[in-house]
Chain A
Amino acid sequence: MGPNTQMPQSSSSSNAQGGDGNGDERKDDNSRFECNICLDTARDAVVSLCGHLFCWPCLVQWLDTRPNRQLCPVCKSAIDKDKVIPIYGRGGDNKDPREKIPPRPQGQRSEASSGGFPGFQWGDGNGNVQFSLGIGIFPFTMFSSLFTFGGERQGPDGQPQVDPNSAQPGSRQHQEEQFLSNTFMAIGFLFLFWLLTL
């Protein structure tokens, strides 16, 4: 009987909540996409990395109000004008938002990778990015990266060869292995150089 005696109270409160809930549901359909600042449906909508929706003009105005405290108005997470994601719905208005305020940042697209080594994706285009690690720890590292750069140029199609049994590209172990092999290669080259100059 315990739960039953509680029933009227809980049902009345849930009724009240339910009533509110229904209203909220209908309202939510509209308010879900309202800007957190002007409370209108967001136009030129952007979403912060913390997930909060704003009109781009509203957000810019707020961030300009406090240039040295760039905080999300809703959750006070640090935000950046350049690090918001624009939302493109189906219907867009034809007005150019750039008339008065800085343009909304572009969405960031990345092409789907075709190769099986996503770890190398960022190193492929410009060669030896991954070898920046360790300069200054060991004097030979500078040479090693130079030499490796040359070595990689000579590779069959610019793709570094990766043994499937070796460490995952991009992982810490992989980097360490690379570092070690580079170092030994540098020592080898220096030894050769020393031999030649004798």
Chain B
Amino acid sequence: MDSCSRRLMKELQQLSTEPPTGIICSRDIASDDLKQWRVEVVGAPGTLYEGERFTLQFRFSPQYPFSSPEVMFVGQNIPAHPHVYSNGHICLSILADDWTPALSVQSVCLSIISMLSSAKEKKHPIDDAIYVRTCNKNPNKTRWWFHDDTV
């Protein structure tokens, strides 16, 4: 088994045996030879998204963990958030430039929950309409510009 699959196996095992608060692992979390996962996250109590459930889709390249996974919201419920486009793409530095192999599915989920938690209003980014029409399907192909660390 290659190192990528070994690492994904370990992450899957850890995440399903002791999932942190706010992360729900369904039985069929991983599919397609571990290269695609779906993880549910729950909005943290006391925030705008309290109790809401969102589905995150992870796609891993064979270079994982040296390259970042492709992470986006999928399904019916895509959170309206200043850093989340209505097609599910997420503007988050650790998913692009700031990715390091010490991060994991779990830490990415927690970062996203934390990002949701610090939102002050529920709305999509200003350039949502343009971006959604012009972007690549793969969020990792977007050159993200990280300008707002407050949310």
A residues in contact (CB < 8 Å) with B: 20, 23, 36-40, 52, 58, 61-62, 65, 71, 73-74, 76
Task: Return chain A residues, CB-CB under 8 Å to B102.
Answer: 36-37, 52, 73-74
Known contacts A73-B100, A73-B102, A74-B100: A38-B6 contact under CB 8 Å: yes
- Nearest CB of chain B from residue A4's CB, rounded to whole Å: 26
Contact check, A65 vs B66: say whether CB atoms are below 8 A apart. yes
**Number of inter-chain CB pairs below 8 Å:** 32
Known contacts A36-B101, A38-B3: A62-B66 contact under CB 8 Å: yes
Contact check, A65 vs B6: say whether CB atoms are below 8 A apart. no
Contact check, A39 vs B10: say whether CB atoms are below 8 A apart. yes
Task: Return chain A residues, CB-CB under 8 Å to B65.
Answer: 37-38
CA distance A103 to B11 in the complex (A): 29
Task: Return chain A residues, CB-CB under 8 Å to B18.
Answer: 20, 23
Contact check, A73 vs B6: say whether CB atoms are below 8 A apart. no
CA distance A74 to B10 in the complex (A): 18
- Nearest CB of chain B from residue A37's CB, rounded to whole Å: 4
Does chain A have a CB within 8 A of B36? Answer: no
Contact check, A61 vs B7: say whether CB atoms are below 8 A apart. no
CA distance A76 to B103 in the complex (A): 12
Which one of B10, B67, B101 contacts A58 once the chains associate, using CB atoms below 8 Å?
B101
Report B1-14 CB contacts with A as 1/0, cut-off 8 Å.
00100110011000
- Nearest CB of chain B from residue A33's CB, rounded to whole Å: 14
Contact check, A61 vs B66: say whether CB atoms are below 8 A apart. yes
CA distance A76 to B102 in the complex (A): 10
Which one of A36, A65, A76 contacts B67 once the chains associate, using CB atoms below 8 Å?
A65
**Closest 4 A-B residue pairs measured CB to CB?**
A73-B102, A73-B100, A37-B101, A74-B102
Which one of B10, B67, B101 contacts A73 once the chains associate, using CB atoms below 8 Å?
B101
Task: Return chain A residues, CB-CB under 8 Å to B7.
Answer: 38-39
The chain A residue sitting closest to B3, CB to CB, is A38
CA distance A73 to B65 in the complex (A): 11
Instruction: Please name 29 pairs of A and B residues whose Cβ atoms are closer than 8 Å in the assembled complex, sorted by A.
Output: A20-B18, A23-B18, A36-B101, A36-B102, A37-B65, A37-B101, A37-B102, A38-B3, A38-B6, A38-B7, A38-B65, A39-B7, A39-B10, A39-B11, A40-B6, A40-B10, A52-B102, A58-B101, A62-B66, A62-B100, A62-B101, A65-B67, A71-B100, A73-B100, A73-B101, A73-B102, A73-B103, A74-B100, A74-B102
The chain A residue sitting closest to B101, CB to CB, is A37
- With a 10 A CB-CB cut-off, give which of B6, B7, B67 has the most chain A CB atoms: B7
